Amino acid sequence: MTSNINQYDVAIVGFGLIGQICAKVCSKYNLKTLVIESRSDAEFSSNAISFDDESLRLLESIGLYDSLKVLLNKPDFTDIVLTNGRVIQRNPVLNTDNGFPSICTFFQPEIERVIREICKADENIDLLFDNELINFNSNDKKIVLDTKNGNKLNHFEALYLIACEGTNSFVRKKLEIESVDQRYSKNWLLIDILLKENDKLENVFRQICDDTRPTSYISLSNRRHRFEFQLLAGEQHQKVIQKNNVQNLISKWIEPDQYEIENVYIQNFRGSFAKSFQKDYVFLIGDSAYQMPPYASQGLNTGIRDILNLIWKINLVVNSNCNKNLLLSYSFERVEQVKQTIKSSIALGQLIDSLAMAFQKNIPLEEAIAPEARDQAFGRSKSIEDKNLKKGIFSLSQIELIKNRRLSNREITNNEDMGCLDKIVGNCFAIFSRKDIKNKLDEGVYEKLIKLNFKFIYEYSGYSIGSELSEYLEIGEIIIRPDKKIFGLTSTKLNINQLASELLMQIE
């Protein structure tokens, strides 16, 4: 790093998985990044167990996927079953339109170890372990950060602060951002095991509506497996985590002499979210902004979507001199989405409990669960309130039609049938059209788009275009944002010059 060591574009506090991935995305945009982490370099967490295809897509775009893929496991299927083995829902794990499996499981310490080393070698990232953020103060130019390393105090300056410090976020509390409790709280026992010999257990991601206690069994990578057991009312934590109890609980699957226990702990599954994910130039990401019970495996994936939403905007302000006000769109675009994800996760937990209860009491399953609860649990609810999206970086005239759509990687495929939209567009804005449209743009607008590294994409020989993009191209031209969300489409009432000007007005 060439600049003064104490001055950064971005300071990230917390180096859990979200802080790690956030640091790599910042680096990809050439942002000088400081990471402050209170733990030592030898400590790792083991909570999250899976990435979805959107997260894998982001990992590929920042060059992490190739290093991580040997540590990822593709389960044969995900399912929800009853105690007697009856399958309520089963989905094979297939590659999606993003070109990745819908879900891949992993053992978090293995993933963290690799990303850490990659971040350490990254010239844009300065990593400080054993440093706790204890205070910060901001004005409209910079944020001054105070950290504590033993008895030593350190001071740093950054333009932006990103809080990735997990559930008990100091930053959220200091900013006095109110957190809304979703009134859901269940304690679960989590157990990670490593098999001594070859893998004999099923390669599945399974939720079991067990009538004695809801349970999850998930096959991770490289002979590792996760078991999760809901605690029953009155069970004492100290007793539950004892080795003989743990062995007894998992004896249905495997005998004690066939594995080592790597982690045993009790976790409170709850739902809550901060009313706003930002204040001035300080942003909350991942668990520092919200908690959700992990039934739908979305906490980490949702944090990765936060990163995807925020960092390109910071890049525009820092590296392209765009208007700081565009950063306000981060919270507007994310809070409502996250609220829905939390609701779905809680609904899925309630669905599992209801099914277990129905089985125990011999009630027909259809009577045990309201159809709307099923829809919410499986993410089919249509009631998503997107009103705040109107304040996001989207064309106002197109908001209903495009509904916050993100183009999949396979909307453009090459001769080998590989999705390559991400490679073609990179981390920039892009205009897709049937013909070269540069001459339809005013000179001033064109020059500004070039300064913003806009890609003009109109030559498709050697590629196939997917059905969604083809449909839009039938109508006119389309502008997509660096996160591949659609900014807007042209129409008979809105030409490309007007659409591009509208975007410039929102970000300049």
Ligand X SMILES: Cc1cc2nc3c(=O)[nH]c(=O)nc-3n(C[C@H](O)[C@H](O)[C@H](O)COP(=O)(O)OP(=O)(O)OC[C@H]3O[C@@H](n4cnc5c(N)ncnc54)[C@H](O)[C@@H]3O)c2cc1C
426-442 as b/e: b if 16+ CB within 10 A: ebebbbbbeeebeebbe
Binding part of the chain for ligand X, among 30-38, 136-144, 426-434, 464-472 by CB under 6 A, reads 30-38
**For residues 146 and 508, which CB has a smaller minimum distance to ligand X in the complex?**
146
Q: How many residues bind ligand X (CB under 6 A)?
A: 33
Instruction: Quote the DSSP letter at residue 256.
Output: G
Distance CA 346, CA 353 (A): 11
What's the Cα-to-Cα distance from 54 to each of 48, 61, 91, 409, 424, rounded to whole Å?
16, 11, 18, 10, 17
The neighbouring-strand residues paired with 259 are 195
170 binds ligand X (CB under 6 A): yes
Residue 166 sits in the site that holds ligand X (CB under 6 A): yes
Contact 327, 159 (CB under 8 A): no
In this complex, which beta carbon is closest to ligand X, that of residue 18 or of residue 449? 18
Residue type, 232: L
**Which CB atom, from 128 or from 402, has the smaller least distance to ligand X?**
128
Collapsing DSSP to helix, strand or coil, 73 comes out as: strand
CB of 301 to ligand X, least distance (A): 4
SS3 273: strand
Q: Of the two residues 299 and 482, which places its CB atom closer to ligand X in the complex? A: 299
Report if residue 16 touches ligand X, rule: CB under 6 A: yes
Q: How many residues does the chain have?
A: 508
Min CB(438)–ligand X separation in Å: 42
User: Which 221-250 residues touch ligand X, going by CB under 6 A?
Assistant: none
Rounded to a whole number of angstroms, the minimum distance from the CB of residue 382 to ligand X is 24
**Contacting ligand X (CB under 6 A), which of 73, 297, 315, 408?**
297
Q: Does 184 bind ligand X (CB under 6 A)?
A: no
Looking at the Cβ atoms of 282 and 300, the one nearer to ligand X is 300
Binding mask of the shown chain, residues 358 to 387, with x at each position contacting ligand X by CB under 6 A: ------------------------------
Q: Does 268 bind ligand X (CB under 6 A)?
A: no
Closest CA to 289 of 138, 167, 384: 167
Q: Find the shortest distance in angstroms from Cβ 89 to ligand X.
A: 17
Q: Within 378-508, where are the H helices?
A: 399-402, 421-425, 443-451, 467-475, 496-507
Contact criterion met (CB below 8 Å) for 426 and 484: no
| 3-state DSSP assignment of residue 127 | strand
Q: 16 and 45 in contact (C-beta within 8 Å)?
A: yes
**Could you tell me the CA-to-CA distances from 179 to 139, 167, 288, 314, 335 in Å, in that order?**
24, 11, 10, 25, 12
Q: What is the DSSP letter of 392?
A: S
Interaction of residue 37 with ligand X, rule CB under 6 A: yes
CA pair distance 227, 218, nearest whole angstrom: 7
Segment interacting with ligand X (CB under 6 A) among 12-20, 206-214, 386-394, 395-403: 12-20
CB 307 to ligand X: min, Å: 10
Q: What x/- string results for residues 300 through 339 when contact with ligand X is judged by CB under 6 A?
A: xx-x------------------------------------
Q: What is the dihedral of CA 167, 169, 173, 179, to 10 degrees?
A: -30
170 membership: H or E segment, kind and range: helix 170-174
Binding mask 46-85 toward ligand X (x if CB under 6 A, else -) reads -xxxx-----------------------------------
Q: Considering beta carbons, is residue 35 or 368 the nearer one to ligand X? A: 35
478 membership: H or E segment, kind and range: strand 478-480
Interaction of residue 36 with ligand X, rule CB under 6 A: yes
Residue 448 three-state SS: helix
Nearest distance, CB of residue 6 and ligand X, angstroms: 17
- State the minimum distance, in angstroms, from the CB of residue 108 to ligand X: 7
Helix (H/G/I), strand (E/B), else coil: 118: helix
Out of 8, 9, 11, 15, the only residue in the binding site for ligand X (CB under 6 A) is: 15
User: Under a CB-based contact definition with an 8 Å cutoff, are residues 484 and 468 in contact?
Assistant: no
Question: Binding residue for ligand X (CB under 6 A) from 99, 101, 271, 294?
Answer: 294
SS (H, E, C) 3-41: CCCCEEEEEEECCCHHHHHHHHHHHHCCCCEEEECCCCC
Nearer to ligand X, 21 or 449 (CB): 21
Angle made by CA atoms 388, 390, 395, in degrees to the nearest 5: 155
Q: Kindly write out the interface string for residues 190-209 of this chain, putting x where it contacts ligand X by CB under 6 A and - elsewhere.
A: x-------------------
Report the distance separating Cα 399 and Cα 194, nearest Å: 49
Least CB distance from residue 131 to ligand X, whole Å?
Answer: 6
Which one of residues 19, 214, 349, 419 is an interface residue with ligand X (CB under 6 A)?
Answer: 19
Binding mask 113-152 for ligand X (x = CB under 6 A): -------------------xx-------------------
User: Given the rule CB under 6 A, which residues bind ligand X?
Assistant: 13-19, 36-39, 45, 47-50, 132-133, 164-166, 170, 190, 267, 286-287, 294, 297-301, 303
